[in-house]
Amino acid sequence: MIHSLFLINHSGDIFLEKHWKSVISRSVCDYFFEAKEKAEDPENVPPVLQTPHHYLISIYRGKLFFLSVVQTEVPPLFVIEFLHRVADTFQEYFGECSESVIKDNVVIVYELLEEMLDNGFPLATESNVLKEMIRPPTILRSVVNTLTGGSNVGDTLPTGQLSIIPWRRAGVKYTNNEAYFDVIEEIDAIVDKSGTTVFAEIQGVIEACVRLSGMPDLTLSFMNPRLLDDMSFHPCVRFKRWEAERVLSFIPPDGNFRLMSYHVSSQNLVAIPVYVKQNISFLETGSCGRLEITIGPKQTMGKMVEALMATIHMPKSVLSVSLTASQGSYTYDITTKILIWDIGRLNPQKLPNLRGSLSMQTGVPKPEENPSINIDLKIQQLAISGLKVSRLDMYGEKYKPFKGVKYLTKAGKFQVRT
């Protein structure tokens, strides 16, 4: 299966390599660099490459390439999914997944990789199990370790692998028992020039943060589970129970995890919280353009729209912009040609407006297409689909946990064509 792993940074340096079978020379990456040159944009590097003797499967995460080498037939998604799991694990251990952080913790990274794969086949990928074998670094512990020469490796050998519940470590103890659930929904939409919705759907996730002692058995039920159209679950969720009763019954992993992700049927009408009035035009003569954008509330369910932001990828020929924003501030990055207007809270009384002129490169024909506007926003305390958690029950433990549910609506891939 997975033969070797190379971590490559944005500028193309290999800064970490790990081999699970015999060593493969890093020159194999040259094929990858070639493809990377060709693709220009790192996102456009083909995830699967064929070389004379190997296959290279890579992902791009946090400005890093995770490049794995395989020699024989293997489902590509298997490798891709695993590489993402590796990146997730780094993120969980070190707070972020970047070159500097990996270099600082290279020993832990190496130990993790050693546990996660055996002969190229995934061995332990559950973070609860891994954390028991290799402790994540904390500031305190690294200071103590420096002084005493202590280690990050767990003193006791793990039991998690063999417990009936592989995703939960045994013997969890907390003084404050808490369980928090965040219902986060994202609106994916394409709105066309005239303001009609071409396509809209809601994707939701329930992120959980469960810190409960012992082996709690939780049941989460919804007021209106029928809204959910398609979903995927964390392995802890009892699928049969969901099928039969439409309740989520599970023994949670310890800590943060994604309980489920769901999709609200696109047959339902999706409420679009804001409308965008825009007028972007590039003049044929005089090498300049005009831009005017106004954003107003549409269907906000009476809630406040916050963290509103508009991002526009300008055509290459736009050299600079001079705009005035009635609210918030804007930045224009000359190298990436990205205009970001950070609006903040949407005031329904006084609609935010951005207007001004764009100066264009002279001698270049005017762009044919107007750039589309990507909208970001947040609405607290609202799940736009109307999904509501009705209750959370805990069985199996005696204490009374503290429970909390939070709702949040965000814009996902919300695009306004102009």
Partner 1 sequence: MSTAALYNDQGAAEAAVEAGQETTPTSSSSGAAFGLFSTDFKKNEDLKEMLESNKESLKLEAMKRIVQLISKGKNASELFPAIVKNVASKNIELKKLVYVYLVRYAEEQQDLALLSISTFQRALKDPNQFIRASALRVLSSIRVPIIVPIMMLAIKEAAADLSPYVRKTSAHAIQKLHSLDPDQKEQLIEVIEKLLKDKSTLVAGSVVMAFEEVCPDRIDLIHKNYRKLCNLLVDVEEWGQVVIINMLTRYARTQFLNPNINESLLEEGSGGEKMFYGSDEDEDEDEKEKKAEAAAIAKRKPYVMDPDHRLLLRNTKPLLQSRNAAVVMAVAQLYFHLAPKAEVGVIAKALVRLLRSHSEVQFVVLQNVATMTIKRRGMFEPYLKSFYIRSTDPTQIKVLKLEVLTNLANETNISTILREFQTYIKSMDKDFVAATIQAIGRCATNIGEVRDTCLNGLVQLLSNRDELVVAESVVVIKKLLQMQPEKHSDIIKHMAKLTDNIQVPMARASILWLIGEYCEHVPRIAPDVLRKMAKSFTNEEDIVKLQIINLAAKLYLTNSKQTKLLTQYVLNLAKYDQNYDIRDRARFVRQLIVPTEKSGALSKYAKKLFLALKPAPVLESPFKDRDHFQLGSLSHLLNAKAGGYQELPEWPEAAPDPSVRNVEVKESVPEWTKCSSREKRKEKKVEKPFYSDSEGESGPTESADSESDSASTTDSASASVSEESESGLESESEEESETEEEEEDKKEKKNQKKEPKKPVQESESEQSSEEEDRKPEKRSKKLKSDSESDSVEDEGSESESSPSESEDFESEAVVTKKKKAAESKPPSKSVRKEEKKEKKEMSLLDLDDFEPTPSPQVTPVNTLLSNSLATDLEGLSLSDSILSPATIIPSGALKNYELLHRITGEGLSVEYCFSRQPFSPDANMVAVQLQFTNNSTSDTKNLHMEDVRLQSGMRVKEFPEIELLPAGEMTSAVMGIDFCDSTQAANFQLCSHTKKFFVSIQPPVGELMRPVFLTENEFKKEQGQLMGMNEITEKLTLDVKCRNEHAIVQRVTTAANLSRVPCGSDKECRFAGRTVTSSSLVLVTVATREEGAAQLMVNCEKMVIGTMLVKDILLALTQ
Task: Tell which positions 145-184 bind partner 1, by CB under 8 A.
Answer: 146, 148-149, 151-155, 157-158, 161-162, 164, 166
Indicate the residue among 43 and 302 with the shorter CB distance to partner 1: 43
**Element (DSSP H or E) covering residue 328:** none
- Smallest distance from the beta carbon of 175 to partner 1, in angstroms? 22
- Smallest distance from the beta carbon of 125 to partner 1, in angstroms? 7
222 neighbors 388 (Cβ within 8 angstroms) = yes
- Smallest distance from the beta carbon of 368 to partner 1, in angstroms? 5
- Of 34, 38, 77, 298, the one binding partner 1 (CB under 8 A) is 77
Measured between alpha carbons, how far is 281 from 334 in angstroms, rounded to an integer? Answer: 19
- Of 95, 144, 176, 198, the one binding partner 1 (CB under 8 A) is 198
Phi, psi of 69, deg, nearest 5: -110, 130
In sign, the C-alpha dihedral spanning 256, 259, 265, 271 is negative
Question: Which window, 14-22, 269-277, 290-298, 341-349, contacts partner 1 (CB under 8 A)?
Answer: 14-22
316 binds partner 1 (CB under 8 A): yes
Question: Which window, 105-113, 283-291, 319-327, 355-363, contacts partner 1 (CB under 8 A)?
Answer: 105-113
1 binds partner 1 (CB under 8 A): yes
Number of residues this chain uses to bind partner 1 (CB under 8 A):
117
- Of 92, 182, 207, 229, the one binding partner 1 (CB under 8 A) is 229
305 neighbors 345 (Cβ within 8 angstroms) = yes
141 binds partner 1 (CB under 8 A): no
CA 64 to chain centre: 15
Q: Name which of residues 230 to 269 contact partner 1 (CB under 8 A).
A: 230-235, 238-241, 243-246, 249, 251, 258, 261, 263, 265-268
181 neighbors 393 (Cβ within 8 angstroms) = no
- Smallest distance from the beta carbon of 3 to partner 1, in angstroms? 11
Q: Name which of residues 337 to 356 contact partner 1 (CB under 8 A).
A: none
Q: Name which of residues 391 to 410 contact partner 1 (CB under 8 A).
A: 393-396, 398
381 binds partner 1 (CB under 8 A): no
Residue 289's CB is within 10 A of a number of other CB atoms, namely: 22
Give residue 239's identity as a one-letter amino acid code: F
Indicate the residue among 98 and 353 with the shorter CB distance to partner 1: 98
Sheet of strand 389-395, all strands in order from the earlier edge strand to the far edge: 247-250, 217-222, 389-395
- Smallest distance from the beta carbon of 326 to partner 1, in angstroms? 26
Query: Can you spell out the DSSP letters for 241-263?
Result: HHHHH-EEEE-PPSEEEEEEEEE
- Smallest distance from the beta carbon of 213 to partner 1, in angstroms? 15
Measured between alpha carbons, how far is 10 from 179 in angstroms, rounded to an integer? Answer: 39
- Of 16, 86, 270, 339, the one binding partner 1 (CB under 8 A) is 16
Indicate the residue among 60 and 181 with the shorter CB distance to partner 1: 60
CA atoms within 13 A on the CB side of 408: 16
Indicate the residue among 42 and 95 with the shorter CB distance to partner 1: 42
30 binds partner 1 (CB under 8 A): no
Residue 391's CB is within 10 A of a number of other CB atoms, namely: 12
Indicate the residue among 198 and 334 with the shorter CB distance to partner 1: 198
Query: Can you spell out the DSSP letters for 285-301?
Result: SSSEEEEEEEEEESS-T
125 binds partner 1 (CB under 8 A): yes
> What residues have CB less than 8 Å from 303, skipping those under 6 apart?
379, 380, 381, 382
> Which is it for strands 255-264 and 55-61: parallel, antiparallel or unpaired?
unpaired
65 binds partner 1 (CB under 8 A): no
Measured between alpha carbons, how far is 66 from 80 in angstroms, rounded to an integer? Answer: 9
